[in-house]
Amino acid sequence: MPPASSFYRAIYSEIEEVGWEYLISLRDDLSSLSFRVLDTKGKAHIMDIELPKNYPKFAPSVTADVPFVCELKWSENSRLKDVVHQFSEEFWSTMDDIDRALLVVDPSQQSHAASFRQIGLGNDCYLLLSINANDPRSLPECRFFGPDNIVDSMIKNWRKNIKRWTRDKSFPENLANILETSLPGPPDANKDDRQIDCGICYAQCLPVDDELGGMSGSAPDYTCDNPNCSRAFHSLCLRDWLRSITTTRQSFDVLFGNCPYCSEPVAVKVNNSE
Ligand code: ZN
Ligand code: ZN
C-alpha cells in the first residue's frame, strides 16, 4: 500500500527545509532518500537516509561516506534537517580547529574523511590523535612518537592532567593545557619567519660587494604597500627597475612608479645610503 498523501506532504516539507538542491534521490515509496551535504571545506558527502514505516516516531537510519557512524539524537518532533545538521557540524568544526591551529603532518592534505591527525610537537616528537567522531570534543585517543626522554615526560603530563580536558575549551587549547606546552602551529602561521626573496632579482640577499656600501649582502628592505601584493624588493633593485621604465617620474630625490607585480604606486629614494 502506498504511503498516505499526508505522509508525502510531511516528507516533502521536511525536504524543503533541508533544500531541494541537496536532494540527490528519493524512492517513490519514500522509503529512502539521499542528500548531498557540503562539509565546512566545501567537500561534498553523500548521506543516505532510510525512513522506517512509522517515521517520524522511529528514527531514520543514516549512512554516509564519512569516517564515523552517526548516533542520531531523535525524538518524534525531530525532522530531516536535524539529521543533516547533527550529521556533521561538530566533527568537522573540531577537525577544522585542529587543522587551523596545529602542525598537522598526516594526512598531508587536510581531510574531512579521516578522523585521525598526526601532529608535530617539536623536538622531533609527534602525536597521533584519534578523534572520537561521535563525540569530537571529548578526550582523544593518542600515541606519542619521538625520543624516549621527551615522550616519557609528555606521557607523564598527559596522565597527570587528563582531568583538565574540558568541553568548554577548543581542542587545540585542551591539548596545550594537558601537555603543559605551547604547540607548533601550521606552516602558514610561521610564514613571516621565512626568508623572503626579492621580486626583481629573485635573490634573498644582495651580493656582498663594497660598491653597494651599506646595502651589501642585505635582505629585501622594501615591501609593496598594496596588502594584496605585499611583494618584497631590495630598494636598490626597485630603483634600478624604476629607472629603466619611461613612465617613472622623479620628484626631488624620490622616484615614483608602479609596483612591477600589482601596478600600485611605489616610491623609492634615488640615493640610498651608498
Ligand atoms: Zn633584489
Ligand atoms: Zn605590488
Q: Which residues touch 185 (CB under 8 Å, ≥6 apart)?
A: 101, 102, 103
Interval 13-67: pLDDT, tens: 999 888 888 888 999 999 999 988 766 556 677 888 999 988 999 989 888 766 5
**Residue 105 gets which letter from DSSP?**
E
Interhelix angle 171-179/80-101, rounded to 10 degrees, is 40
**Architecture (CATH level 2) of domain 5-91:** Roll (3.10)
Residue in the structure block whose three cell numbers are 593518542: 142
State the distance from the centre of ligand 2 to the C-alpha of 207, rounded, in angstroms: 24
Taking 60 as the threshold, does the pLDDT of residue 69 lie above it? no
Interval 248-265: pLDDT, tens: 998 888 999 999 988 889
Position 266 scores a pLDDT of 92
State the distance from the centre of ligand 1 to the C-alpha of 234, rounded, in angstroms: 4
Give the H/E segment covering residue 26: strand 23-26
- Ligand minimally distant from the alpha carbon of residue 223: 2
Interval 87-107: pLDDT, tens: 666 777 888 889 889 999 888
130 with 141: CB under 8 angstroms?
yes
Position 117 scores a pLDDT of 92
Interval 168-210: pLDDT, tens: 899 999 999 999 988 998 876 444 445 688 999 988 888 888 8
Stated pTM of the model: 0.48
Q: What ranges do the domains of the chain cover?
A: 5-91, 96-186, 195-269
Position 164 scores a pLDDT of 92
State the distance from the centre of ligand 2 to the C-alpha of 197, rounded, in angstroms: 14
State the distance from the centre of ligand 2 to the C-alpha of 210, rounded, in angstroms: 30
Pick the closest to residue 108 from 118, 121, 95, 98 (CA basis): 118
pLDDT-derived band at 237 (thresholds 50, 70, 90) equals very high
152 φ/ψ angles, rounded to the nearest 5 degrees: -60, -45
Q: What is the assigned CATH class of domain 96-186?
A: alpha beta
Residues around ion ligand 1, judged by CB within 5 A, are: 198, 200-201, 234, 237
62 φ/ψ angles, rounded to the nearest 5 degrees: -125, 130
State the distance from the centre of ligand 1 to the C-alpha of 246, rounded, in angstroms: 20
State the distance from the centre of ligand 1 to the C-alpha of 167, rounded, in angstroms: 50
State the distance from the centre of ligand 2 to the C-alpha of 258, rounded, in angstroms: 8
Strands of 39-169, DSSP E = 44-50, 61-64, 104-106, 116-122, 125-130, 141-145
Neighbours of 191 (CB within 10 A): 9
pLDDT-derived band at 3 (thresholds 50, 70, 90) equals confident
Position 190 scores a pLDDT of 46
State the distance from the centre of ligand 1 to the C-alpha of 202, rounded, in angstroms: 6
What whole-number distance in Å separates Cα of residue 65 and Cα of residue 262?
43
State the distance from the centre of ligand 1 to the C-alpha of 215, rounded, in angstroms: 11
Helices (H) and strands (E) in the chain, counts: 5, 13
Position 36 scores a pLDDT of 83
Same topology, domains 5-91 and 195-269? Answer is no
Interval 102-148: pLDDT, tens: 999 888 766 666 788 999 998 899 999 998 876 788 899 999 999 99
Pick the CATH number of 195-269 from 1.10.3720.10, 3.10.130.10, 1.20.120.80, 3.30.40.10: 3.30.40.10
Position 144 scores a pLDDT of 96
Q: Which long-range contacts (CB under 8 A, 24 or more apart) does 37-45 make?
A: 37/64, 37/84, 37/87, 37/88, 39/88, 39/92, 39/112, 40/92, 40/93, 40/96, 40/112, 41/92, 41/96, 41/110, 41/112, 43/112, 43/113, 45/88, 45/112
Say if residue 168 is exposed, middle or buried (CB neighbours under 10 Å; 0-12, 13-18, 19+). Answer: exposed
